[in-house]
Structure formats: C-alpha cells, structure tokens
Structure 1
Amino acid sequence: MLYLQCKTPGVNTLELAERLQNAGVELDAEATKEIVHVISLIFSRAAAQSCMSAEELVTKLAGSSSKWSKQALQAIRHVWNEQGKLVVTAEDAKHMLTVGQLVDLQWKLGMAMSSDGCRSLNYLYVTMVLKVANPSGDIIRRSFEMTIPQFQNFSKQFRELAAVLEMV
C-alpha cells in the first residue's frame, strides 16, 4: 500500500519473500513478485480507478473466482477500508514521471593486479552498484565498473545534475 500511495519507490520482493518465509509462509521470490503484482492491480486498477467501496471490491473479487478464501477477502476489505482512499488513482499517476527511481547507490574502489592475459595490470577501478525501483515497483540491482577517469566524469555529472535539481 505504501508503494501505491507513492510513499516508497518500489517493493523489494526478495526482502518481502524472506519476511514471509520467516513468518512461516512458504513462497519463493517469483511467487511473491506475482502476488505483489496481483495486489497492485486489484487495488490500483480495479478499485482506485472505479472508486469502489470495500464491499463492492470484495463482492467483485468473490464473484470473479472461487479461489478467494474468506480470510483473504477479509484482509483485502480491511486494507481497502484503512488505506484505500490514499491510493494514487490513474488520473494522479498520469502527472507522475514514469522512470525508475534511485533507491540506493554503493561504490567501492578496487585494484586489478593481474589477469590471464597480462601478468601486471596494476590499475584502479570503481565498482558501482545501483538499486533502482522501476515504474512497476520492482527493485532491481545493476552493477558496473569504471576506470578512475570515468568515475571522476560520472561524479562531476552527478554533482551537476544535483545542482540542477536543487534549482527546480
């Protein structure tokens, strides 16, 4: 719900799957990801766009499939009653930028000593790891390496970008 209310940049399905497993629910990361997408679709598309009440939503879900348990429908009714009015609707979403959002940036300095093709490399490099929440809410990790001059250029561009964003 925090993601649908635009209070978090995405849903870390790996962390959620781990939390569920610690609570005794046996779901792998892929199943957790699918559940997050289904819940997101139910709340954002079906309910928020149609301005449904909790009772209408639960009735529609129960009528669409017999696979919904009574407990699941009660949980959906409760969450929709508590948080449903705060969900960003499709009209609000049109005004938002639909690009990934940077969640975390980590870097480390390393030195390449040798390789199969060269006995003595002795050059410094920087490894960057970015966590980005894509528009669907999934958090993905991307990593890459840069030489020191490339990192200095990247850093300079990042500072310039930050200065421009501060003026906006």
Structure 2
Amino acid sequence: MSLIIGDSTALGTANALAAQGIRCAVHARVGAPSGESVKTFRSPVGAGRVLIALGSNDPTNPRLARNLMVVRQRTMGSQVTWLAPYHASPARIVTDIARSFGDPVIQLASIPSRDRVHPQNYRKVAATLQWRKTASIRADYRPTRALPSPQHESSVRQAVVLSF
C-alpha cells in the first residue's frame, strides 16, 4: 500500500499518480498545516511507499520542525519521501528532518510554479517519485469520491481520506 500525507501538494501528487493507475491511501487536505497531521494522522500498518508533503501552509510556524518530526516518527513505511515546499524556510526544515531519517527529498523549487506554492504540473512530481503500480494494490479498491483539484486554494476546507 502507498500512502500520501499532507496538503494541497499531496493531493495534486495523488491525482497525478492516480492518472497513472497508481492508487494511494490519502491523508491530506487543501490548506492543511503541519499541526493538523500531528492531531489526526496515525500511520496504517503495512504502508510501503509514503510521501509526506507538509510545510507549505505554515512557513512561519515555530513548531514546524517538531510537527514534522512527530509525523515522521509515526510514519510506518519502508520508503518515505518528502516534498520540500517552495518557500525556503520550511524547505530547509523539511530537508533537515528528512535527512535525519535518511529519507529522500523532492525539492519543489526545482519544478516550475505559477504561485510558488503549487507545481504547474504534478506529473513531474509523480515522475520524480518513480512509483510504479504494484501487485499489492487491491483490485476491488474504489475511491469514495474524486480528489479535489489542488491547483487553486479555495475557501472550502475538506478532508479527503481514502483507505483500503
């Protein structure tokens, strides 16, 4: 099972992976700050690949490093990858936490963006992950609803959690 945790950049990446036929459990919400995941996220047993995309929505949060550390300590995955936000300060924090665990980091700053929050094209993020379909994904999996488009922030605040 693959798992994606985070904010709108997590949702955009989940959509890009789904377009390739790669289904993931998603614990993400547009506008989600890192503290929200600390309060609500519990890693499922058996997660293989995990993507953590947090920090874009709280670049000045003094608790960002602590929040990311808590989320990472709760993450039970054989391969954990991080998305570092475009904003330099949280990107450094994400990179430091990831490196302390030996996790790879995708620097969103290396991917073109119109708003310096979201990539112009999430397919580039998905391609950088190099996730492929695996036999461990259940054949009867059906998302309960379509994932929202993360291209633009909206005032609608909605949680999207898919599980197997």
TM-score, normalised to structure 1, is 0.25
Higher relative contact order (CA 8 A, sep 6+): 2
**Structure index of larger Rg:** 1
> In proportion to residue count, which structure has more helix?
1
